Amino acid sequence: MSDYIPQEIEPKWQQKWEADGLYHADIDPSRPKHYALTMLPYPSGDLHIGHWYAMTPSDARARFMRMKGYNVMFPIGFDAFGLPAENAAIKDGIHPKIRTYQNIERMRKQLRSMGAMWDWRREAISSDPEYYKWTQWFFIQLFKHGLAYRKLAPVDFCPKCNTTLAREQVWGEDRHCERCGTPVIKRELEQWFFKTTAYAEDLLNYEGMDWPERVRVLQTNWIGRSEGAEVTFITEAGDPIVVFTTRPDTLWGATFMVLAPEHPLVDKLTTPEQRAEVEAYKLQAARQSDIDREAADKEKTGVFTGGYAINPVNDERIPVWIADYVLMTYGTGAIMAVPAHDERDFAFARKYGLKVVPVIQPEGEPLLNGDTMEAAYVGPGRMINSGPMDGTYVSGKGHNDPGMQKVIAWLEERGLGKKAVSYKLRDWLISRQRYWGAPIPMIFCRTCGWNPVPEADLPVLLPEDVEWRPTGESPLKLHPTWKNTTCPVCGGPAERETDTMDTFMCSSWYHLRYLSPWYHQGPFDPKEYDYWMPVDTYTGGIEHATMHLIYTRFFHKACRDMGITKGREPMIQLRNQGMVLGEDGEKMSKSRGNVVAPDDLVAKYGADTVRAYLMFFARWELGAPWSYTGIEGVARWLRRVWTIISEPAKPAICSDETKRILRRRVHQTLRRVTRDFEQFEFNTIVSSLMELLNEMSKAKEAGASGTPEWNEAVDIYLRMLAPVCPHIAEELWERTGRTYSVHTQSWPSVDEEAAREEQIVIPIQVNGKLRDRIVVSADATEEEIRAAALASEVVQKFTQGQPPKKVIIAQKKLVNVVV
């Protein structure tokens, strides 16, 4: 018998599996398909332990599904565009393309060392022209269907680096530049948007999706649906001001209006006397960084415009103010202020001495008085001071409330307002004033405006000879010739869009490119699509709940409506892993010096040990701190697996009892491991395998090795081990004289008869406290169990010869005697 040397067997098998195409997944209509997907990695240059933690259990699950008889596709690729490569380039001058492809090369090797069942033929890299050609093509389809549009929007700008920044490059409470630490400022730029808001309602529907509740809640909050009404006020000059409110029932209590400082009607409303003050306030609000506006407990400020509007329900003349607590980006950028029933409006009214009129009276309370109220009343009650609506009961919010329905119907009849829904979700800003991304395939012509690049001319190649050092402009704009082109409509001279796309655009459809990265007639081969889609199991970090996972759902739905994809959703089942922390319990970081390097672990223990430890040491969805001593325990277990299974049998006599117990344990473990794989409970899979090995070790001591029962135990053990530790399972499979490969074997089925216990131990409680245990035959009747329990000496001691008040027999699990 030789020693277990993973460093020898692992590369050997990896090469053989690859040479044999063992993990190639091809269309096979005769078998059920399973598309297993793990979130595609960014090529940062080194595979982090977090990648291992995310990917190896996904791989194990995919392998399990394969053994269960599914035709499993498990692809991999790289999210290769993006800021880190460009920032590194700015620092050390290495071209982002060179660095990215070097990193990819390195990470491919590291990914191979996992021994995962990737089908490398399906690899897709988002920065390949053959990939981003289709990213651009999708942009054009969205544009053609009115789902991509251009508008002026603020961006973060670093005055020191002289460049615009993406949201994720702005850090900390003071919102500073991630590179130089300078606080960022706002700048207005014309940019491209996707109409994610058009899908807000559809995105709230999770029907048929097996997604964690947590993610659904995060997305639901992010989309932020509120029901209410839009009501039109008219200024004294006759201009309509539309407001959105969730409380149309409080309309009679609207005693002033507030516009966002950027609201287009502000100038017109402002009287000459107020002009100077209004202008000063607008300027101050524009200069304010987001953080100032975000502080919720900040004292409210505002300025009277001098203008008035008419409250349409009672013809009251009410003043119009501007204040930065009203956001131009939500609702209509204007509100009706009901100080008696809204905390913010109340604070504002008290500060500036504005009128407070209660219109909702809580039942059974003294009548509210607008002059003496100390806080806004936001609860349910009966409408008062509300003319025709007086006496109507309203509960608060939502279209379902009958009072609310009555008010909205009344408004609609008179053309004063209408039922409306508002969302916090904003349209997706996809323009980046950056170099290392897919160029936005649009052309601007002075006479014809914006038009897409003809599809035959795709891809719009990203030029390599570009000055990427920051100047405050998009790097592509500074290229001497690149942007010059001709208008696809009139043929005259025109300019290309010089911004690039947000990389979330690339990752919104990579699961489709994996289907057929070799395909040239479209983004994917429809035959592959029809067989493999949707993704059956998607795994990745929770941090993408409100970014990638919303974008990719939007993308799929938009494509469905454009006739490109099918089905409601791209990913049916989602599971999130947690995070591996440093040994100190803190997030891993170079500065803390607590980073765990998987390459070193693989060199020391082998990939199988690393894989098994990562599945064993924590609940997958929670994660836990790393432990260098913990991994030793798993290494010890695999050495024992090796020894116990490959060590030759010693001739010995084995009792039938030993053999029976061995079979029972094997099939009981199989039952549990099967269930745990189905439920993503990887930690108990490993611990069950450890327990079974302990049982096998005892059985072997008792002479079981060499028996058919032992042979079956080894057979099932290696099949259960194969998804977790593919190399050692394959090696032992071969060494025990079995035919290649363990990974093409089917998952064993449980022999329920063998798994059945013959005798069961039943705990006996007296008054709910454990007092004794009895052993009965597994098919004992309830009466037999009762008799045995009452016959127990310990129970006798408690009953003192008296008949018990009650005897509870819980299936065959427990007896509780109540005296």
The reply on whether position 771 binds RNA by CB under 7 A is: yes
Q: Give the three-state DSSP class for 82.
A: coil
What Rg do the C-alpha atoms of the chain give, in angstroms?
Answer: 34
Within 280-299, the residues that bind RNA by CB under 7 A are 293-296, 298
DSSP 291-333: HHHH-TTSPP-EEEEEEEEE-TTT--EEEEEEETTS-TTSTTS
Q: Which distant-in-sequence residues (6+ apart) come within 8 Å of 518 by Cβ? A: 121
Q: Binding to RNA (CB under 7 A): which residues in 395-434? A: 422, 424
Nearer to RNA, 113 or 332 (CB): 332
312 is an interface residue for RNA by CB under 7 A: no
Q: Kindly state the smallest distance separating residue 422's Cβ from RNA, in Å.
A: 5
Residue 818 backbone phi and psi in degrees, to 5? -105, 120
Q: What interhelical angle do 598-605 and 607-616 show, nearest 10? A: 120
- Residue 450 three-state SS: strand
Can residue 577 be called a binding residue for RNA (CB under 7 A)? no
Comparing CA positions, the residue from 597, 769, 617 lying closest to residue 690 is 617
Q: Out of 276, 327, 375, 603, name the contact with RNA by CB under 7 A.
A: 327
Q: Are 550 and 222 in contact (CB under 8 A)?
A: yes
Among 69-77, 331-339, 735-743, 777-785, the segment contacting RNA (CB under 7 A): 331-339
- d(C-alpha 297, C-alpha 286), whole Å: 20
Q: Which of 70, 120, 171, 325 binds RNA (CB under 7 A)?
A: 325
Please give the residues from 249 up to 268 whose contact with RNA meets the rule CB under 7 A: 260
Label residue 63 exposed, middle or buried (CB < 10 Å: 0-12, 13-18, 19+).
buried
Determine the interface stretch with RNA among 499-507, 596-604, 617-625, 775-783 (rule: CB under 7 A).
617-625
Give the integer Cα–Cα distance in Å for 203 and 552. Answer: 11
Give the containing element (helix H, strand E) for 163: strand 163-165
Minimum distance from CB of 518 to RNA (Å)? 38
What does the per-residue mask of binding to RNA show for 163-182, with x meaning CB under 7 A? Answer: --------------------
Q: 213, 363, 413, 753: which one contacts RNA (CB under 7 A)?
A: 213
Does the footprint of RNA cover residue 222 (CB under 7 A)? yes
Stretch that binds RNA, among 223-231, 385-393, 450-458, 647-655 (CB under 7 A): 223-231
Q: In whole angstroms, what is the distance from residue 34 CA to residue 531 CA?
A: 10
Q: Least Å distance between CB 645 and RNA?
A: 13
By CB under 7 A, tell whether 1 contacts RNA.
no
Angle between helices 726-735 and 708-721 (to 10 degrees): 150
SS3 178: coil
Tell me the C-alpha distance between 392 and 569, whole Å.
42
814 binds RNA (CB under 7 A): yes
Length of the chain: 819
Interface stretch with RNA, choices 437-445, 619-627, 705-713, 733-741 (CB under 7 A): 619-627
Among 203, 420, 618, 645, binds RNA (CB under 7 A): 618
Rounded Cα gap, residues 634 and 628, in angstroms: 11
Query: How many Å is the maximal CA-CA distance in the chain?
Result: 108
DSSP percent split of the chain into helix, strand, coil, nearest 5? 40, 20, 40
Among 24, 151, 214, 592, binds RNA (CB under 7 A): 214
Closest to RNA by CB, 98 vs 622, is 622
CA 112 to chain CA centroid, nearest Å: 26
Q: Which lies closer to RNA via its Cβ, residue 80 or residue 203?
A: 203
Restricted to residues 638-677, the positions that interact with RNA (CB under 7 A) are 639-640
What number of chain residues touch RNA (CB under 7 A)? 80
Calpha distance 43→47 (Å, rounded): 8
Place of tokens 């999210």: 79
- For RNA, which is the closer residue by CB, 398 or 492? 398
Residue 186 binds to RNA (criterion: CB under 7 A): no
| Residue 560 engages RNA in binding (rule: CB under 7 A) | no
Tokens read off for 100: 């990215």
Minimum Å gap between C-beta 701 and RNA is 8
262 vs 561, beta carbon nearer RNA:
262
Cα–Cα distance for residue pair 232/310, rounded to 1 Å: 10
Q: How far is the CB of 224 from RNA (least distance, A)?
A: 5
The answer to whether residue 542 forms part of the interface with RNA (CB under 7 A) is: yes
Q: Closest separation between CB of residue 428 and RNA, Å?
A: 15
CB 543 within 8 A of CB 67: no
313 class by beta-carbon count within 10 Å (0-12 exposed, 13-18 middle, 19+ buried) = buried
Could you say which residues in the range 44-83 bind RNA, by CB under 7 A? Answer: none
Crossing angle, helix 548-561 and helix 213-223, to 10 degrees? Answer: 70
Q: Which of 619, 735, 738, 786 binds RNA (CB under 7 A)?
A: 619
Which amino acid is residue 220, in one-letter code?
T
CA 757 to chain centre: 43
633 touches RNA by CB under 7 A: yes
Tokens of residue 245, six digits: 């409110």
Question: Which segment (49-57, 181-189, 222-230, 705-713) binds RNA by CB under 7 A?
Answer: 222-230
Residue 247, interface with RNA (CB under 7 A)? yes
Query: Does 144 help bind RNA (rule: CB under 7 A)?
Result: no
Smallest gap from Cβ 684 to RNA, in A, equals 5
Residues 676-715 that bind RNA (CB under 7 A): 681, 683-684, 686-687, 690-691, 694, 697
Where does this chain touch RNA (CB under 7 A) — which range of 82-90, 95-103, 462-470, 759-767?
A: 759-767
Q: Which of 5, 461, 778, 818 binds RNA (CB under 7 A)?
A: 818
- Cβ distance to RNA smaller for residue 248 or 523: 248
Judged by CB under 7 A, the stretch of 89-97, 164-172, 514-522, 614-622 that binds RNA is 614-622
Binding of RNA by 506 (CB under 7 A)? no
Among positions 71, 245, 311, 552, the unique one binding RNA when judged by CB under 7 A: 245
